[in-house]
Amino acid sequence: MYVFTTNHYIEILPNLWSGFLFTLLITITGVAIGFVLGAIFGLMRLSKIKIVYGIATIYVELVRGTPLLVQIFFIYFGLSDFMNINLDKLTASIIAIAANAGAYIAEIVRGAVQSVDKGQTEAGRSLGLSSRQTMLYIIWPQALRRMIPPLGNQFIISLKDTSLFSAIAVTDLMYEGRQYASSTFADFESYIMVAIFYLVITIPSMLILRQYERRFERE
Amino acid sequence: MIQVKDLHKSFGETEVLKGLTTEIKEKEVVCVIGPSGSGKSTFLRCLNMLEEITDGHVVIDGNDLTDPATDINKVRSEVGMVFQHFNLFPHLTVLENIILAPLKVKKVTKAEAEETALPLLDKVGLKDKAHVYPNSLSGGQKQRVAIARALAMNPKVMLFDEPTSALDPELVGDVLAVMKDLAEEGMTMVVVTHEMGFAKEVGDRVFFIDEGVFMEEGPPSQLFDNPQNPRTQSFLSKVL
C-alpha cells in the first residue's frame, strides 16, 4: 500500500542536484563538441570530392545506424581495451554524446546549407568571392539561422540520451535517481523527481524554440 | 572586350548552345532576345562561368575563361551581374550588401567601400535605404540595390539576366531608367530582356537567339523594323 509522504521528495534533492549538474556538464560539452563535428562532417557531406563525402557519409551512417547504448559501451569498454588506455567515465560519456550528436547535427547542417537558395551562391561568386568566402559570409550565416530550431531539438534529445550513460555508472541524474531508489525502495518518488529534473530543462527549451520558430516564420 | 568563339553548352545530353560566335566591343550595349528556352540566359551565364563551358572559348578583356590558368574570381570581380530574382543577401543591410565584395575581394577599407557605395545608392535613388534589410524593399528597389552592388566592384562589363521579368509592371520603369543611365555613361552591357522597347531605345545591337544559335543580329532599327530571318519575324510578331 502506497503512503504519501514528502520525505523522499526532499531527501533525494541533494543527490539529484549533483547528478543534474553532471548531466548538464556532459550534455552541454558534448553537444558543443558535437556541433563542431557536425559542422565539419555536414560540410564534408556537401563536398564534390568523393573521398571526403564518403568519409563523412560512413561516419553519419555508422552512428545513426547503431544504438547509443552500444556506442557508449564500445567507447568506454571496447576502445579503452583495444587502445589500452583508461578512459574515465566522464570523458567516455562526452565523447559518446559528441560523436552521436555530431552525426545528427551533420545532417542538420547539410540540410540547412542546401536549403539556402542557389542564387545566393551565384550572386556571391559573380561578385568575385571565392567559394570559401561565399560559404563563410553568405551561405553559412543564413544556414545558421535555419539550424537553430533543429539544433535546439537535438540538444533536448541528447540531454535525454545521456540517461543511458548511467549504464556505465556515470553519476548523472538518472544514476543518482537509481541509487536513491535502490537504497530506499522509494522508486515512485525517485523517478518522478528524476523526470521533473529533466523536464526543468526540456520544457523551457521547447518553449524558447517555439518562440524562435514563430519569430522566424514571421520574417 | 568580349569574344565568344564557337561556344557550346550541354546539360547532360541536351545541347543548349550550339556554337555561338560573336564579339562585343567596349561601351557597346547588346540586348539578347529570344523565346524562353532558347538559351539566352545560358549564353549570358557562360560569360562569367556561372555555367561551365562545354566547348569553345569566351574571352573577357583578354582572359580566356576556359584556360585553367585564368583566375576566374578575378575575372568575375570585373564582370558585374544582375539576376532576375535580385539575389540580394537577406541577412545583410543594403549597404552591407554593396560593400561585402569590395571589402573581401578588393580588400579596401570599410570607409573606402562606403565612400564608393553611398554615391552609388544615391545614383539608383535609394540613398535613404542604406541601413534597411532587403526584405523591406519592393522588387524594383531590390533590383536597383543589386545593380549598385554590382557597380561597387567597378566592373568593366555588366551582365543583366532578365532584370525586370520578376517585377510588377509599374516598377519596371525605375530599373530600366537606371540601366539607361548606365548605358549613356558608356558601360559595356549585355542585357537578356523581354523589354523590346528598352532594346530598341538603348541597345546598340540586338541578338535574336533561338534553339541555341544566333538566328539574326543587327542594330535595333534593322532587327525590329526589317527582320530578315523568318524565325525572327515570327517571334517579333508575337511580342511586339
**Tens digit of each residue's pLDDT (9 = 90 or more) over A100-121:** 999 999 999 999 999 999 999 9
- Contact across the interface for A142 and B91, Cβ inside 8 Å: yes
- Bridge partners (DSSP) of residue B158 are B80, B189
Provide the pLDDT for residue A200: 94
Q: How many helices (DSSP H) and strands (DSSP E) are in chain A?
A: 11, 0
Q: Which residue has the cell 541577412?
A: B91
Residue A202 predicted with pLDDT over 90: yes
Q: Which residues of B112-133 are buried (b: 16+ CB within 10 A; e: fewer)?
A: ebbebbbebbebbebeebbeeb
Residues in A closer than 8 angstroms to B148, CB to CB, are none
User: Residue B240: pLDDT band by 50, 70, 90 thresholds?
Assistant: confident
> Distance (Å, rounded) from C-alpha A170 to C-alpha A164?
9
Which chain A residue has its CA at the smallest distance from B72's CA?
A128
A116-to-A46, A120, A141, A212 alpha-carbon distances in Å: 13, 7, 10, 19
Give residue A219's pLDDT.
62
Confirm if A112 and A143 have CB atoms less than 8 A apart: yes
Q: Using the predicted structure, report yes or no on whether residue A28 has a pLDDT greater than 90.
A: yes
C-alpha cell at B54: 562545354
Of A117, A122, A128, the CB nearest to B50: A122
Q: Biggest alpha carbon distance in chain B?
A: 55
Asked if residues B113 and B152 have their Cβ atoms less than 8 Å apart, the reply is: yes
Contact between residue B76 and residue B48 where contact means Cβ atoms under 8 Å apart = yes
Q: Distance from first CA to last CA of chain B, Å, rounded?
A: 31
Give the separation between CA B42 and CA A209, rounded to whole angstroms. 42
Any A CB within 8 A of B142 CB: no
Predicted pLDDT at A1: 62
State the pLDDT at residue A82: 83
Distances (CA, A) of B18 to A59, B43, B58, B116: 44, 10, 14, 41
Assess A141–B contact: CB distance below 8 Å, yes or no. yes
E strands present in chain A: none
Q: Give the closest of B50, B74, B135 to A126, CB-based.
A: B50
Look up cell 523590346; give the residue: B196
Is the confidence at residue A36, as pLDDT, over 90?
yes
Is residue B231 over pLDDT 80?
yes
B84 three-class SS: coil
- Measured in degrees and rounded to the nearest 5, phi and psi for residue B208 equal -105, 120
Identify which of B147, B108, B103, B92 has the alpha carbon closest to the alpha carbon of residue B124.
B147
Q: What is the mean pLDDT of residues A119-147?
A: 95
Q: Is A131 on the interface with B (CB under 8 A)?
A: no
Strands across the sheet containing B2-11: B14-24, B2-11, B55-60, B63-64
Using 50, 70 and 90 to split pLDDT, how confident is the model at A213?
Answer: confident
Task: Give the contacts of A141 (CB within 8 A, at least 6 positions apart).
Answer: B91
Least confident of A210-219, B8-17, B87-96, B99-108: A210-219
Closest alpha carbon within chain A to B74: A128
Can you tell me the distance from the alpha carbon of B57 to that of A39, in angstroms, rounded to the nearest whole number? 38
pLDDT value, residue A57: 97
Residues 6+ apart with CB under 8 A from B104: A129, A133, A137
Mean pLDDT taken over chain B: 93
Residue A11 is predicted with a pLDDT of 86
CA B116 to CA B72: how far, in whole Å? Answer: 24
> A183: distance to nearest CA of chain B, Å?
56
CB-based contacts of B117: which residues, under 8 Å, 6+ apart?
B95, B98, B99, B102, B130, B148, B152
Mean pLDDT for the stretch of residues B201-228: 91
Rounded to a whole number of angstroms, the distance from the CA of B105 to the nearest CA of chain A is 6
- CA angle, corner B178, sides to B177 and B183, nearest 5? 95
Q: What is the pLDDT of residue A208?
A: 93
Mean of pLDDT over chain A: 92
Kindly state the average pLDDT of the residues B57-69: 91
Q: B213 to chain A, minimum CA–CA distance in Å?
A: 25
Q: How far apart are CA A64 and CA A172, in angstroms?
A: 24
Is residue B62 exposed (0-12), middle (13-18) or buried (19+ Cβ within 10 Å)? Answer: exposed
At B93 the pLDDT is 95
Chain B environment of A129 (Cβ under 8 Å):
73, 100-101, 104-105
Chain A segment 98-117 residues within 8 A of B by beta carbon are: 117
**A117, A120, A128 ranked by CB distance to B105: nearest:** A128
Q: Tell how far CA A212 is from the center of its chain.
A: 19
* Residue B155 identity: P
A169 has a pLDDT exceeding 90? no
Q: Does A129 contact B90 at a Cβ distance shorter than 8 Å? A: no
> Of the candidates B73, B87, B100, which has its C-beta nearest A122's C-beta?
B87
Is B101 in contact with A127 (Cβ distance < 8 A)?
A: yes
From B160, which residue of chain A is nearest by alpha-carbon distance? A126
Decide if A122 and B83 are in contact by the 8 Å CB cutoff.
yes
Q: Is the pLDDT of residue B193 over 90?
A: yes
Tell whether the torsion through CA atoms of B104, B107, B110 and B111 is positive or negative: negative
**CA–CA gap between residue A152 and residue A166 (Å, rounded):** 23
Chain A residues with CB inside 8 Å of B85's CB?
119
- For residue B208, the model assigns a pLDDT of 93
Q: For the ranges A117-121, A209-213, B88-92, B115-119, which has the lowest average pLDDT?
A: A209-213
The pLDDT, as a whole number, for residue A101 is 97
Flag whether pLDDT at B238 surpasses 90: no
- Residue B149 is predicted with a pLDDT of 96
| Rg of chain B (C-alpha set) | 18
| A31 pLDDT tier (thresholds 50, 70, 90) | very high
Q: Is B148 on the interface with A (CB under 8 A)?
A: no
The answer to whether residue B103 scores a pLDDT higher than 80 is yes
Global pTM?
A: 0.87
ipTM of predicted assembly, 2 dp: 0.91
pLDDT at A217 over 80: no
pLDDT at B141: 94
What is the pLDDT, as a whole number, of residue A186?
86
| C-alpha cell belonging to residue B135 | 526584405
Question: Could you tell me whether strands B55-60 and B79-82 are parallel, antiparallel, or unpaired per DSSP bridges?
Answer: unpaired
Cβ-Cβ contacts under 8 Å, B135 against chain A: 219
Give the closest-approach CA distance of A118 to chain B in angstroms: 9
Residues of chain B with Cβ-Cβ distance to A219 below 8 Å are: 135
Measured between CA atoms, how close is A75 to chain B, in angstroms?
A: 41
Residue of chain B whose alpha carbon sits nearest to that of A144: B91
**What letter does residue B67 receive in the DSSP assignment?**
S
**The pLDDT of residue A33 is above 90:** yes
Min Cα–Cα distance to chain B from A108, Å: 20
Q: What are phi and psi of B98, to 5 degrees?
A: -75, -35
How many whole angstroms separate alpha carbon B30 and alpha carbon B45?
A: 15
- Alpha-carbon distance B81 to B103, whole Å? 18
pLDDT at res. A21: 94
Distance from CA of B158 to the nearest CA of A (A): 11
- pLDDT attached to residue A6: 78
CB contact under 8 A, A128 and B81: no
Nearest to B76 among A117, A126, A145 (CB): A126
